[in-house]
Amino acid sequence: ADSVQLYGIIDMGVGHFTGIAPSNTTAAPGSTASYTGLMSGVVAGSRIGLKGTEDLGGGLKAIFKAETGFCPAGTNQTGAGTSGYCTGGSFMGRTTMLGLQGSFGTVQMGRYFTSMFTNEINYDPFQAGFTGAYSNFSLGIFGLNGDAIGSLLRSNQTITYISPSLAGLTVRADYSFNTGAATDPINTAGNKTTMWSLDGNYAIGAATVGANYTKVSNITVNASGANTGAYKVWQAFGSYDLGVAKLMGIYERGTADYYSGNDSSWLVGTTVPLGAGMIMASYGQYSSSLSNTVALSKSTAKQYAIGYSYNLSKRTMLYTSYAHINNDSAAVDRLGTALAVNTATNSNAGVTGQGSSGFAVGILHSF
């Protein structure tokens, strides 16, 4: 049957952050600051969306989704960075998808989460939210962040095929004509920052395992105005549901054909259902041996996080979480960023050789 549905999430919480980089430029090197604020989208980005399905006959369906983000606590959140933080970049910029679905699977196009980031959500006990999200230091967010590819969170101009489940195996393939947030220059070679990825997920009983390969091409712009260079990421992940607890883990490794070395990140975590509530915990690391000019080299960061959520109803949830991240003493550790509220674009810059911590308590309401 045909349907169009209006839905949304409003999520706000009080957060307290310590150990972040102060914004006054006269602060002494290595000094840190702390602050408290009302935050938007701590657990999940606040959003309003429309989704629908139309029966085209013969088992074929048209499906769509268009979703915009917003900042219920206002747009002056510290660390929010760009004005697009809460909207995902523009109106309906969180997700837009139009596709056809049938026995062959799903073919869809638009702007949405990459398969790589989708795994970073699904194999993170905090689902890329709370104060201790994996996305605080994952490659999907920080992978070569300084190199103009932006994050691999969402990709623009993307066409995707998702297979039906074949005895537990689901395959997803993506191609993006222009993944970057910025409009690519059209030089005489016509190069744009493209991306393709292949993703496999296998469910067997209480276990799931999977792997992902993502390649972003034509990243750097050379003197003649031509884009060139590629960044490649391997991902492996799995989970096991014991009933009393669910265990999960994810590992990522990235290389660039214009640097030597690589960067990697990993996380292990668990969720423990407890009546109407749930306990979440995770530990993970990021490390880099990349040789480059934007000072990503030889840095390491370690994060642990614990949280608890309690469902007042199916639609309303109370939550709290605490997390701590340690940055090593390597020069200009880009992972000084830490303890983002939900997304790293909202990250509070950390300080080299210092730890930072974040605590939040809040409420999420969906409709």
CB nearer to a second copy: pick between 70 and 142: 70
- What are residue 228's phi and psi, to 5 degrees? -160, 170
* Cβ 23 to a second copy shortest distance, Å: 4
* Cβ 151 to a second copy shortest distance, Å: 14
* Cβ 187 to a second copy shortest distance, Å: 4
Stretch that binds a second copy, among 5-13, 118-126, 250-258, 300-308 (CB under 8 A): 5-13
Answer left, alpha or beta for residue 89, where phi above 0 means left and psi between -120 and 50 means alpha. left
**Does position 276 bind a second copy by CB under 8 A?**
no
CB nearer to a second copy: pick between 90 and 165: 90
**Does position 293 bind a second copy by CB under 8 A?**
no
CB nearer to a second copy: pick between 96 and 136: 96
Q: Cα separation of 309 and 239, whole Å?
A: 20
CB 100 within 8 A of CB 109: no
Stretch that binds a second copy, among 31-39, 114-122, 241-249, 255-263 (CB under 8 A): 31-39
* Cβ 209 to a second copy shortest distance, Å: 32
* Cβ 21 to a second copy shortest distance, Å: 8
* Cβ 220 to a second copy shortest distance, Å: 14
CB 35 within 8 A of CB 356: no
**Does position 220 bind a second copy by CB under 8 A?**
no
**Does position 152 bind a second copy by CB under 8 A?**
no
CB 316 within 8 A of CB 364: yes
Q: Cα separation of 175 and 161, whole Å?
A: 9
Contacts of 48 (CB under 8 A, 6+ apart): 6, 7, 8, 67, 68, 70
Tokens for 119, please give them: 């795994």
Contacts with a second copy, 41-60, as mask; x by CB under 8 A: -----x-x-x-x-x-xx--x
Output the CA torsion sign for 40, 363, 137, 349.
positive
Widest pairwise Cα distance in the chain: 69
CB 358 within 8 A of CB 17: yes
CB nearer to a second copy: pick between 217 and 287: 217
Contacts with a second copy, 312-351, as mask; x by CB under 8 A: xx-xx-----------------------------------
**Does position 367 bind a second copy by CB under 8 A?**
yes
Among 1, 103, 205, 224, binds a second copy (CB under 8 A): 224
**Does position 100 bind a second copy by CB under 8 A?**
yes
* Cβ 328 to a second copy shortest distance, Å: 23
**Does position 202 bind a second copy by CB under 8 A?**
no
Q: How far is CA 173 from CA 109, 202, 215, 257, in A?
A: 12, 15, 12, 22
Contacts of 341 (CB under 8 A, 6+ apart): 15, 39, 40, 41, 42, 77, 79, 131, 358, 360
Contacts of a second copy in 55-94 (CB under 8 A) = 56-57, 60, 62, 64, 66, 68, 70-78, 80, 83, 86-87, 89-93
Among 119, 156, 208, 343, binds a second copy (CB under 8 A): 156
Contacts of a second copy in 177-196 (CB under 8 A) = 177-178, 180-190, 192
Q: Cα separation of 89 and 345, whole Å?
A: 11
**Does position 148 bind a second copy by CB under 8 A?**
no
* Cβ 119 to a second copy shortest distance, Å: 21
Output the CA torsion sign for 157, 237, 131, 233.
negative
